[in-house]
Amino acid sequence: MNKTFTLNVHALRSCVWALLSVVILGSAVGLTRFLVLNGPRAAVVEPEEKIVTVVTEPAVISGIRVNLKSQGEVEPRHRTQLMAQVGGKLSFVNERFRNGMTFNGPGSDSEGELLLKIEGGDYEAAVAVAKASLAEAKLALTMEEVKRSQALRDWEKIRKGQEPTELVRRVPQIQSAEAQIEAAQAALQKARQDLKRTEIRAPYDCRVEKTYVDVGATVLPGAPLVELVSLGPVEIRLPLSLKDYGYLEREAGAVRGRVVVSGEIGGATVEWIGNIARSEEIVERSTRSINVVAAFGDGGEEVPPIGMFVQASIRGQIIPDAVRIPRSGFVEGSKVLLVADDRLDIRRARVLWSEASHVIVRGGDGEGEIPEGSIIVTTPPSPLIQNTRVRAVLSKSQTEGSTVTERENTE
């Protein structure tokens, strides 16, 4: 009896605790639900769209002249290495025969200025010997002609009316004498040329670039004596890529164009103006470029120093129907930032030409073209998202340009 009563007490106690737990849990759930359903509600507000201010400028379609960039080294029009054609000891060296000194070339009534002279005694003797040989050859021809006349008279007496033979007419002997005269004349001419070659003169108005001999030196035929560079006009070989080469101006099938080169002298930038003289018309395999040659000083103008490395700007063709866009308005190499209906329009464009600060694209309404009057963004927002709402503000240069135009129109 006691055991049964104890079990019932425990079972009752467990039921009570279970019932209390369910009541507490249900009350908590009910209270929570009540608070959720009857608590304050947050106001629903549409998020405000952010507006980005960008600097812009209008697209203007026009013909744009391109300037091709290149660089090169200033070269003389002529560079010559004089070599000895005859051998001997130098008997004269011009006192100005030094690097950097200038000499006058031949004129209408004068020979080029004398640079060096080789002892000419042996060559003068050779001229005298050649003259004597020529005189002997002429004498031999005269003697043969006299002998022919005598032989013909004798033949007429002995065999009157018969045709004389070649030996009677001494044809072989006379031909031999005439050949001896020609040989003697050629030997005399060579001896005189050798004597003249003992004098080394300036072949044109030139400057000494490098000397190889000095007073008292003995030279051999073929030995280098001096290197000369011409005075006056200079040339610069300017390499151009095939694309750039295609934009050169042409006249009658030949390339032409104004060239401006610049270099730094004494801390200041100096410019020289010239023209394209010719194109080498050969593609170099190593660089896949074509060289054009610019000439400077043809009209007597000042020219850049020989050996100077210069930067060149070549006037090229005019690209029709083109738009010049600042580089800041270009993204990803070929996309232009525009404003359309107060929203950012990222449009792909066809690049025609690239400059240091601008890019030139085709103008028009076709694919890859920029229409006239389009608003170009010059300060790209971050991040770049298509259709971002923007507020367009004209660039300072455009505003100043408009003010100046209005002032000019008023005046």
pLDDT in tens, 14-57: 777 777 777 777 777 777 777 667 766 666 666 666 788 888 88
Mean pLDDT across 316-333:
88
The per-residue pLDDT for range 283-308, each reduced to its tens digit, is 998 889 999 999 999 988 999 999 99
Q: CATH number for the 67-75+233-319 domain, one of 3.50.50.60, 2.40.30.170, 2.60.120.260, 2.60.130.10? A: 2.40.30.170
Q: With H, G, I as helix, E, B as strand and everything else as coil, classify residue 14.
A: helix
| Sign of the CA dihedral running 268, 269, 273, 274 | positive
Q: How confident is the model at residue 411 (pLDDT cuts 50, 70, 90)?
A: very low
Query: Tell me, what's the pLDDT at 283?
Result: 93
Question: Per-domain residue ranges for the chain?
Answer: 55-61+320-410, 67-75+233-319, 80-229
CATH of domain 55-61+320-410: 2.40.420.20
From 258, 208, 246, 248, select the one nearest 228 (Cα to Cα): 208
Which pair of tokens denotes residue 150? Answer: 């005598």
* DSSP-based three-state secondary structure for 87: coil
Looking at residues 306-322, what average pLDDT do you find? 94
Instruction: Choose the most confident range, by mean pLDDT, from 11-15, 59-63, 81-85, 141-145.
Output: 81-85
